[in-house]
């Protein structure tokens, strides 16, 4: 559901954005270190090269002074002064270079610290806002789920109508999250009409029960939508028919012989296909064959059990009621597949 998804998105956002901040810090720290190393080496090369020039100047002019005769002392003094100036120049320029290296690398380090702090604050603020939104969303989801579960009681009952026809779909639906299974119980009370014996009831029960269960059990799965995150990714659906004398979901009058059945009246000679078709109405499905009383009906031709009871089979659309109940029950969206 959206609540779980948003919580996961907040965690992913925090992890991914924090990783970007860490990469930024590492990358720029490395750049600053490389910059400092490069300029330190430049300053060292400048000092070494300049000192060597001063030394060559001193050596060269000291040798020249030997040829100055009585003015050698003046020459050597000149050499000393000029060499001192040269070395002072080397010291000043090297100091400026080192100062520049220190200032610029310090600025770089401060830039890394400030930008990383801003990045970390951005992660904190956005994650806080995200989690605050999740908190609000959790409250909303809790309320929505509570209301949604009211629409998915175990004793399912839903008024249905089509054209001139109206009925109430009823059954019991139980969710087993450990087995990822939905179990539908259909309690039917059979009322014998005149001429129908208990032996007749026993015979039709033995015929109709497996026919209904086989037609409607595990025809399709109830699959979790990709965006949702409930534990069960796929639910199976099974139908259990129970013949009862009280507490029934539906009452069926059983008449002798043969005839046109409907949801409330079956015949001793009604087939298992007929029973499975009428059970489809009990689950809330409409007829899909041509009927002059219902000109707006959607007529199908895909071999549906609600169109051709004797040879038809259950289709995905006939499980939509189960999927809708499970969606309301779990607060996750389930589709028929």
User: What's the DSSP call for residue 249?
Assistant: S
The packing angle between helices 2-65 and 72-150, to 10°, is 180
Strands (E), 31-178: 155-162, 165-176
Give the DSSP H/E element, type plus range, for residue 203. helix 198-216
Q: Looking at residue 4, what is its pLDDT?
A: 63
pLDDT tens digits, 277-316: 999 999 999 999 999 999 999 999 999 999 999 999 999 9
Instruction: Collect all residues with Cβ–Cβ distance below 8 Å to 116 and sequence separation of at least 6.
Output: 21, 24, 25, 28
3-class SS at 214?
helix
Buried b / exposed e across 207-220, counting CB within 10 Å, b at 16+? Answer: ebbebbbebbbebb
If we measure between CA atoms, which residue out of 240, 250, 239 comes closest to residue 189? 250
Q: Looking at residue 51, what is its pLDDT?
A: 95
> How confident is the chain (337 residues) per 10-residue block, as mean pLDDT?
70 93 96 96 96 94 88 91 95 96 96 96 94 89 85 94 96 97 98 97 98 98 83 96 98 98 98 98 97 94 97 98 95 92
Q: Looking at residue 2, what is its pLDDT?
A: 55
Q: Looking at residue 301, what is its pLDDT?
A: 96
3-class SS at 313?
strand
**Which residue has tokens 């959607």?**
298
Q: Looking at residue 68, what is its pLDDT?
A: 86
**Burial label, 304 (beta-carbon count in 10 A; 0-12, 13-18, 19+):** buried
Q: How far is CA 100 from CA 30, 45, 75, 88, in A?
A: 19, 15, 37, 18
**Which residue has tokens 């999927």?**
323
Q: Looking at residue 208, what is its pLDDT?
A: 98
Cα of 73 vs its chain's centroid, Å: 91
3-class SS at 289?
coil
Buried b / exposed e across 256-277, counting CB within 10 Å, b at 16+? Answer: eeeeebebebbbbebbbbbbbb
If we measure between CA atoms, which residue out of 179, 187, 186 comes closest to residue 222? 179
HSE toward the beta carbon, residue 172, CA cutoff 13 A:
11
The packing angle between helices 72-150 and 320-330, to 10°, is 120
């Amino acid at each position: 559901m959206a609540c779980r998804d948003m919580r996961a998105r907040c965690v992913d956002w925090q992890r991914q954005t924090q990783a970007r901040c860490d990469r930024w810090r590492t990358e720029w720290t490395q750049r600053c270190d490389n910059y400092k190393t490069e300029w330190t080496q430049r300053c060292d090369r400048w000092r070494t090269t300049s000192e060597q020039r001063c030394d060559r100047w001193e050596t060269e002019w000291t040798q020249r002074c030997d040829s100055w005769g009585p003015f050698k002392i003046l020459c050597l003094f000149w050499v000393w002064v000029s060499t001192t100036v040269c070395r002072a120049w080397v010291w000043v320029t090297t100091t400026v270079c080192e100062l520049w290296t220190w200032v610029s690398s310090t600025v770089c380090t401060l830039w890394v610290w400030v930008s990383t702090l801003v990045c970390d604050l951005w992660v904190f603020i956005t994650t806080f806002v995200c989690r605050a939104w999740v908190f609000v969303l959790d409250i909303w989801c809790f309320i929505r789920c509570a209301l949604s579960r009211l629409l998915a009681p175990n004793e399912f009952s839903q008024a249905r109508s089509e054209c001139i026809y109206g009925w109430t779909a009823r059954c019991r639906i139980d969710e087993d999250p450990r087995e990822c299974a939905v179990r539908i119980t259909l309690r039917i009370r059979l009322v014998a009409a005149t001429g129908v014996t208990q032996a007749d009831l026993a015979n039709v029960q033995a015929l109709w029960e497996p026919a209904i269960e086989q037609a409607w059990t595990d025809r399709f799965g109830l699959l979790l939508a990709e965006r949702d995150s409930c534990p069960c990714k796929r639910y199976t659906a099974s139908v259990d028919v129970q013949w009862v004398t009280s507490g029934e979901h539906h009452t069926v009058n059983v008449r002798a012989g043969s005839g046109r059945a409907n949801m409330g009246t079956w015949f001793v000679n009604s087939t298992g296909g007929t029973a499975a078709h009428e059970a489809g109405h009990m689950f809330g499905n409409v007829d899909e064959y041509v009927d002059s009383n219902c000109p707006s009906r959607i007529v199908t031709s895909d071999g549906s059990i609600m169109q051709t009871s004797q040879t038809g089979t259950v289709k995905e659309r006939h499980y939509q009621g189960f999927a809708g109940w499970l969606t309301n029950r779990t607060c996750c969206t389930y589709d028929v597949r």
